[in-house]
Structure 1
Amino acid sequence: MSALYFVSDLHLGLQEPQAEAEKLERLETLFSTIASTGGSLFLLGDILDYWMEYRHVIPKGFTRFFCMLSGLVRSGVSVTWMAGNHDFYLGSYFDDELGVKTMYGLHEVQHDGCTFLMAHGDGLGDGDLGYKLFARFVRNRFNLGLLTAFHSDLSTALMSWFSRLSRKHKKSDMRAESTRLFDFATSLAQERDFDYFVCGHNHSERIETVHESGSAYVNLGSWIEGRYQYGVYEQGQFRLEQL
């Protein structure tokens, strides 16, 4: 049975050129590993720090990453991208041009007799009503239509501003952020059977059992602090690795 790979919160486009180049180098190494093993890749949100899609224009800044992603798909690897609170809306470009499946919210996958529930993590659980309203506003098709009617420089700048606004919405100390996602996974394990709930969002990597049945919570952490970790499930075991 082929392996499943998971990564989240790269926030490409956020940092200085040297840090961005390092992230892409590490990502290229990971993609080569996945292509050689024939596994599947799940991108669990905030891969890009901001994104705005147009009907006929592709914004610059992510060309190398898109080429790498396209090459991985063409090598036969299945790639699924769950939208996060920074890559707010993933339009048809990724599906139609790159062959990447895009999804929102909570997604279930059956593999090797296990049930994987995965999401970026934004908007899950109780509370945080302000963000939930914000996300509905940003992903509203009418509002997206208005944004794409502007000049591309202006609307891309607006999406970058939305991204900064989303970041300011969180506490400055990401590792001290609410345990909402862990609590959500614990509560979910009381309602339904699953083996792994996999997410990102709060930038704090963690694997921990949440139910006597063995259901586990997995947080993939972030790449913006110089730790290039990813999740991999193979041969009946889920583990976090670093590049």
Structure 2
Amino acid sequence: MTLTANKKIYFASDQHLGAPTAEASFPREKKFVAWLDEVKQDAEAIFLLGDLFDFWFEYKTVVPKGFVRVLGKLAEIRDSGIPVYFFVGNHDLWMNDYFEKELNIPVYHSAKEFQFNGKEFLIGHGDGLGPGDIGYKRMKKVFTNPFSKWLFRWLHPDLGVSLAQYLSVKNKLISGEADVHFLGEENEWLIQYAKRKLETKHYDYFVFGHRHLPLEIQLDESSRYINLGDWIGYFTYGVFDGTTFELKKY
């Protein structure tokens, strides 16, 4: 992708709408919708890097109640011709084709390479990447198993969604969330993952979410690791203007 003059690419992650309750997250939803409304003015594309919802599951004919403002804004942005890309996170990993069919937004279940203005990007949510976090990686294999999803689908949505929302908030093994303090480069799994990737291919930018910390780490002379933070306490996002990448606060 080559950026049009004066256009930018925007990145955001970890809104966790619905947590800890729908009522508590409603102001955050309105704030995020206001951000979307603002960045659409000069957006070449918008990347959402997962955990937009604190829980999401697509039954054959049912999706979780709520979030109409953010879904409506995303539909408006796509209808205007601006590309939007969505990467599932560990809280909305059971996303299937609803976004693709209803909003015309492609959904990715793993990290993906992009090239913008000659710069190489590796973009994803970030859960389960790098060394460590063995318990969560095992749990993710269970959750993403087709048989597990088939079993869950047999629960009535009122029961299934309520149970999943409770576990999403209470069980840190299921959520995959680690310490929200910076652990040092040697203990940050995503930084270690990025360094290992650089051993076989050059990337100018690694852009991830999941850690809930706004981070900018210089990996070598020309490669940077970016973590986008979240829309719970930081309200941070990334913007690439074709030449440089910045983390900003809304």
Q: For residues 123-161 of structure 1, what are the alpha-carbon distances to aligned partners after superposition, in whole Å with 9 as ceiling and x for unaligned? A: 101122211111111111221111112211111123224
Q: Which moved more, 1:150-159 or 1:10-19?
A: 10-19
Q: For residues 30-85 of structure 1, what are the alpha-carbon distances to aligned partners after superposition, in whole Å with 9 as ceiling and x for unaligned? A: 21233211421111111111111111122212222211111111111111111111
Alignment-derived partner of residue 86 in structure 1 = 91
Alignment-derived partner of residue 208 in structure 1 = 217
Tell me which amino acid in the other structure corresponds to 2:59: Y
Alignment-derived partner of residue 3 in structure 1 = 8
Q: For residues 206-234 of structure 1, what are the alpha-carbon distances to aligned partners after superposition, in whole Å with 9 as ceiling and x for unaligned? A: 1121023x111000011112x21110000
Alignment-derived partner of residue 240 in structure 1 = 247
Tell me which amino acid in the other structure corresponds to 1:119: G
For the pair 1:136 / 2:154, whether they are aligned, the reply is no
For the pair 1:193 / 2:202, whether they are aligned, the reply is yes
Alignment-derived partner of residue 175 in structure 1 = 181
For the pair 1:50 / 2:35, whether they are aligned, the reply is no
Q: Determine the C-alpha separation between the residues in 2 that align with 1:69 and 1:76.
A: 11
Q: Determine the C-alpha separation between the residues in 2 that align with 1:128 and 1:122.
A: 9
2:238 to 214, 231, 243: 231
For the pair 1:221 / 2:226, whether they are aligned, the reply is no
Q: Contact (CA 8 Å) 1:44, 1:119: kept in 2 or not?
A: yes
Q: Determine the C-alpha separation between the residues in 1 that align with 2:79 and 2:182.
A: 40
Q: Determine the C-alpha separation between the residues in 2 that align with 1:92 and 1:17.
A: 23
For the pair 1:32 / 2:37, whether they are aligned, the reply is yes
Tell me which amino acid in the other structure corresponds to 1:202: R
Identity of aligned residues (%): 34
Q: Determine the C-alpha separation between the residues in 2 that align with 1:46 and 1:108.
A: 20
Q: Determine the C-alpha separation between the residues in 2 that align with 1:143 and 1:181.
A: 27
Correspondences of 1:85-164 after superposition (within 5 Å): 85-164=90-169
Q: Contact (CA 8 Å) 2:37, 2:73: kept in 1 or not?
A: no
The number of residues matched between the two structures is 241
Correspondences of 1:59-70 after superposition (within 5 Å): 59-70=64-75
Tell me which amino acid in the other structure corresponds to 1:231: G
Q: Contact (CA 8 Å) 1:86, 1:166: kept in 2 or not?
A: no
Tell me which amino acid in the other structure corresponds to 1:186: K
Q: Contact (CA 8 Å) 1:4, 1:234: kept in 2 or not?
A: yes
How far is 1:190 from its partner? 2.1
Tell me which amino acid in the other structure corresponds to 1:182: I
How far is 1:171 from its partner? 6.7
After TM superposition, the score normalised by the length of structure 1 is: 0.91
Q: Contact (CA 8 Å) 1:50, 1:160: kept in 2 or not?
A: yes
Query: In 2 relative to 1, CA 222–34 (structure 1 residues): closer, same or farther, beyond 3 Å?
Result: same
Q: Determine the C-alpha separation between the residues in 2 that align with 1:155 and 1:19.
A: 21
Consecutive unaligned residues of structure 2, counting only runs of 5 or more, are none
Consecutive unaligned residues of structure 1, counting only runs of 5 or more, are none
Task: Please give the root-mean-square deviation of Cα atoms over the aligned residues, in Å.
Answer: 1.9
Residue 201 of structure 1 aligns to a residue in which SS? coil
